[in-house]
Amino acid sequence: MALSIHTNYSALTTNTALNKSNNALATNQQRLGTGLRINSAADDAAGLQIATRLNAQSRGMGVAMRNVSDSISMLQTAEGAFSEMTDIVQRMKDLATQAANGTNSDDDLMALEAEYSALGAELKNIFTNTRYAGEELFGTNTGTAFTAAAADGKLSKQDGIKFQIGASTAETLEMKIGDKFVSLNTALTKISDDFAGTTKAAASAGNIAFKDTGTPPVVTNKTAGLIDDVSDALNVIGEVRAALGANINRLNHTSNNLANMKDNTEMAKGRIMDADFAMESANMSKNSMLMQSGISMLKQAGQMPGMVMGLLG
C-alpha cells in the first residue's frame, strides 16, 4: 500500500468499522431500553407485519372476553329473575291446591286468594321490570297481544340477540328464544289477573278467583283447573331457564377457550417482538469493546500521514 497524504486508507477503513460498531451498539442499547427486538419496520419488516396481525388478534380476543363476561352477566340476571319467578309460581301452586279443598271456609278462600293475587302481581313486576344496564330484558308487552315480533325486551325479540364472542365477524353467538317468551306470557296469563289484564271484579274468563261472587261463595271450576295451569307455567319457566343456562355454560367455555388462544397468541407475538436480554447484553459488551478499540486504532491511523515528513527530511 502506497504512503499518501491525501488518502489515508487505514483511517477510512477504521472509521467505517467504528461507524458499524456504533450503529450496532445503538441498536443493542435501544433493544435493552425498550425490551423489544423490533422497534421499527427497518429492524424486521416481515416480523413486524406478522406481529401486528398477532397483536390485532390478541387485542380482539381480549375485547371478546369482556364481551363474553358481559353476556354471561346479562343472562345470569335473567336466569336469576326466572329463579325467583319459579319460587313464586311454586307457592301459587300450593295456594291453588289448598284452595281446591272443600274444607276451606269463605274467609279461608279470601285469604288464599289475597296472597295468590299478590304473588301474581309480583310475577308481572319481575317480568316487566327486570333490567340489565338500564334496558328491559323481557319486555312490557303482556296479555294476549304479546308476540315475539312485537316484544321490546332484549331477550324476547323475535330476531333474538347476537353476542360478539371473537375477534372476527364470524365469531358470534345468536340466541333466539322469543317464541319461548310467547309461550311463557300465555302460560302466565292463565294464572295471573295482572298478566291477563283483568281485575278481581271483572267477569272474565281470565279472571282468577278462588270463590264466586254469588251467594254462597264456592270454589270455582276455574280454581280447580288452575292447578294444572300453574303446573304448565312452571314447565314453561323451566324451559326458558334451561335455554338461558345452556347458553351461560356455553359462554363460560367460550371464555376459557378465548383465554387459551389469547395466551398462546401473546406468546407467539413475544417470540417475534421481545428482545433477548442475554444475547443483547453480550452483543452490547462486544460492540462496546469494538468501539473502544476502533477509537484507539483511528487515533493511530491518523498519525500515518505524519510519517511522510520523515521521508522529506
Residue 43 lies in a domain: no
CB 38 within 8 A of CB 44: yes
Q: Are residues 259 and 139 part of one domain? A: yes
Residue 207 lies in a domain: no
Q: Are residues 301 and 166 part of one domain? A: no
Distance between CA atoms of residues 141 and 205, nearest Å? 20
Residue 201 lies in a domain: no
The CATH code of the domain that includes 175 is 1.20.1330.10
Domains in the chain, number: 2
Q: Are residues 304 and 280 part of one domain? A: yes
CA angle, 85 then 89 then 94, to 5°: 150
Q: How many CB atoms within 10 Å of residue 235?
A: 11
Question: Which parts of the chain fold into alpha helices (H)?
Answer: 9-34, 45-99, 106-129, 178-191, 193-196, 221-273, 277-301, 308-311
Mind listing the pLDDT tens digit for each residue in 31-87?
898 888 988 888 889 999 999 999 999 999 999 999 999 999 999 999 999 999 999
More confident: 43 or 218: 43
Q: Are residues 133 and 29 part of one domain? A: no
Residue 261 lies in a domain: yes
Q: Are residues 124 and 55 part of one domain? A: yes
Q: Are residues 144 and 75 part of one domain? A: yes
- Whole-number pLDDT of residue 19: 85
Q: Is the pLDDT of residue 1 over 70?
A: no
- β partners of residue 163: 173
Distance between CA atoms of residues 82 and 127, nearest Å? 9
Q: Is the pLDDT of residue 25 over 70?
A: yes
Cβ-Cβ contacts under 8 Å for 198 (sequence gap 6 or more) = 204, 206, 207
Q: Are residues 92 and 31 part of one domain? A: no
Residue 190 lies in a domain: yes
Mind listing the pLDDT tens digit for each residue in 241-278?
999 999 999 999 999 999 999 999 999 999 999 888 88
Residue 200 lies in a domain: no
Q: Are residues 112 and 70 part of one domain? A: yes
Whose CA is closest to 254, among 166, 180, 194, 159? 166
- Whole-number pLDDT of residue 216: 59
Q: Are residues 78 and 55 part of one domain? A: yes
Cell of 11: 483511517
More confident: 100 or 82: 82
> Residue 78 belongs to what domain range?
49-195+220-271
Q: Are residues 25 and 81 part of one domain? A: no
CB 31 within 8 A of CB 39: yes
